[in-house]
């Protein structure tokens, strides 16, 4: 069995009234539930989430995709992320929940903020909204979503979502997105702004988001699933944060680590980023390196 474990240091994914100070001290651990490795129905998702919470995981994440084609997996797709997260919020009590990460291009940004605020309320303030620009052209084309100028579109979407999820109002006459005195009602019950996480290593996206993002996440294929890869990308993120006037120590940092338990006869996800595997002690030692 392979799964993506999200490792959060004094910077990285997560609430229950989220603040950067909450992450000082021990790292936090999250788990990403299965996406398209095999078909999973709701009763199993519920059991997985409740088991993860019971054994002590701090966070539960789901991917936000619509459709994959090609490769060894053939044609496949997961359930809609925000709907699934709302259901998971209703059957858990402690863990932080969120998309890792939601594609800002799949919905009008005001609607993303509205959906996020609903899940946040169902969860009792345990929601973190991870956002990215998207990358899988197959799903954009299949569902009639524009793929061009994704960072330009993301820039406008981030502005709208940030304004609304912080409890403010949004009026933007952009090239790609528009709002006219939009506001979220009912307002957030939990104190403060909803925490936003950026899932990107792109310099332009980081410059857009780091002045305000609560957290930053990078994926195991970007790091080679290695601590050295994480250190390199975290240093890049810190440099850009400084350049845009943000103290890097206030950005929660997180990394996805591919972990393989036992020998299920699976082929490697990617020869360039082998999974962390072995005995529980060996896996724990490797995660300490991260």
Residues of the chain with pLDDT under 50: 1, 10-21
Residue 136 — left, alpha, or beta (φ > 0 → left; ψ -120 to 50 → alpha)?
beta
What distance in Å separates the CA atoms of residue 201 and residue 188, rounded to the nearest whole number? 30
- Determine the pLDDT at residue 74: 87
What separation in angstroms does the CA of 119 have from each of 77, 87, 92, 101, 129?
A: 22, 9, 12, 15, 10
Distance, CA of 205 to CA of 132 (rounded, Å): 8
The Cα 285–Cα 258 span in angstroms is 14
pLDDT of residue 70: 84
Pull the structure tokens for residue 266: 């699976």
E strands within 69-157? 96-99, 102-103, 129-132
User: Closest Cα to residue 97, out of 23, 195, 167?
Assistant: 195
229: helix, coil or strand?
helix
Residues in contact with 181: Cβ distance below 8 Å, sequence separation at least 6, in sequence order = 169, 170, 171
Q: What is the pLDDT of residue 9?
A: 55
Residue linked to tokens 């995709």: 65
pLDDT of residue 37: 82
How long, in residues, is the chain? 290
């Amino acid at each position: 069995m392979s799964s993506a474990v999200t490792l959060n240091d004094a910077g990285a994914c997560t609430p229950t009234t989220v603040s950067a100070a909450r992450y000082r001290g021990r790292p936090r651990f999250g788990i990403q539930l299965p996406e398209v490795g095999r078909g999973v129905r709701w009763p199993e998702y519920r059991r997985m989430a409740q088991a993860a919470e019971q054994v002590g995981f701090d966070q539960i994440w789901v991917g936000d995709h619509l459709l994959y084609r090609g490769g060894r997996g053939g044609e496949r797709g997961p359930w809609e992320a925000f709907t699934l997260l709302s259901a998971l919020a209703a059957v858990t009590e402690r863990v932080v929940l969120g998309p890792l990460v939601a594609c800002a291009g799949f919905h009008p940004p005001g609607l993303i903020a509205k959906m996020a605020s609903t899940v946040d309320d169902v969860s009792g303030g345990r929601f973190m909204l991870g956002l990215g620009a998207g990358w899988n052209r197959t799903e954009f084309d299949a569902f009639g979503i524009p793929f061009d100028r994704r960072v330009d579109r993301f820039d406008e979407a981030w502005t709208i979502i940030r304004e609304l999820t912080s409890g403010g109002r949004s009026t933007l006459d952009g090239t790609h997105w528009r709002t006219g005195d939009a506001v979220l009602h009912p307002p957030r019950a939990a104190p403060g702004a909803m925490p936003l996480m950026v899932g990107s290593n792109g310099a332009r996206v980081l410059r857009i988001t780091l002045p305000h993002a609560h957290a930053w996440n990078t994926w195991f294929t970007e790091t080679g699933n290695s601590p050295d890869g994480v250190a390199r990308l975290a240093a890049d993120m810190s440099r850009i944060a400084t350049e845009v006037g943000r103290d890097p120590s206030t950005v929660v940092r997180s990394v996805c680590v591919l972990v393989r338990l036992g020998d299920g006869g699976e082929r490697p996800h990617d020869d360039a980023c082998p999974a962390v595997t072995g005995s529980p002690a060996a896996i724990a030692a490797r995660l300490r390196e991260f």
